[in-house]
Amino acid sequence: MSQVKKMLLGTAFVALAGSAFAQTAQPSAADAGGQTPAQVTPAPQNLTAPAPTDPLVQKRNANAQANAEYKASKKASKQEMKATSKEAKEQYKEQVRNAKINKKADKQTANDELKSAEPNGPQDTNLQH
């Protein structure tokens, strides 16, 4: 039995090697003469696939296009929202800054008024408690 297996394996190996050798390119007569032809690349072709007739493929393509449009719309909306939020934040910061300045100015004005209303010295020196 082992001889039969060896024969089958050997035959299969030879058949595979022969088929692989047969698939390799054979040298042409020009190559045999020692001349090597320049590699010519074919011109690029713009192939367009015909519109699919399968309704599932059409639905898949329509869904893909709708998803792409939705993502683009969502991205644009997000950028717009960020810009609006940033503008509102800057406006808020400006208002807070102005409020702090106004508060400080009001406090300074009130202090100045109190200082100007007080005489330089105590009014009643004979007060006893």
Q: Is-contact 2 9, C-beta < 8 A?
A: no
Residue 114, amino acid: L
Residue 41 lies in a domain: no
Has residue 13 been placed in a domain? Answer: no
What tokens appear for 104 in the block? Answer: 């400080």
- pLDDT for 85 equals 98
Q: Is residue 42 assigned to a domain?
A: no
Domain of residue 70 covers: 54-118
Query: Total structural domains in the chain?
Result: 1
Residue whose tokens read 């010295």: 121
- d(CA 84, CA 33) in angstroms, rounded, equals 75
Residue 110 forms part of a structural domain: yes
Does 75 fall in a domain?
A: yes
Q: Which amino acid is at 47?
A: L
Does this model's pTM top 0.75? no
Specify if 59 maps to a domain: yes
Which phi and psi angles does 89 have, rounded to 5°? -65, -45
- Mean pLDDT (10-residue bins), the chain, 129 residues: 82 80 62 58 71 88 97 98 98 97 95 80 63
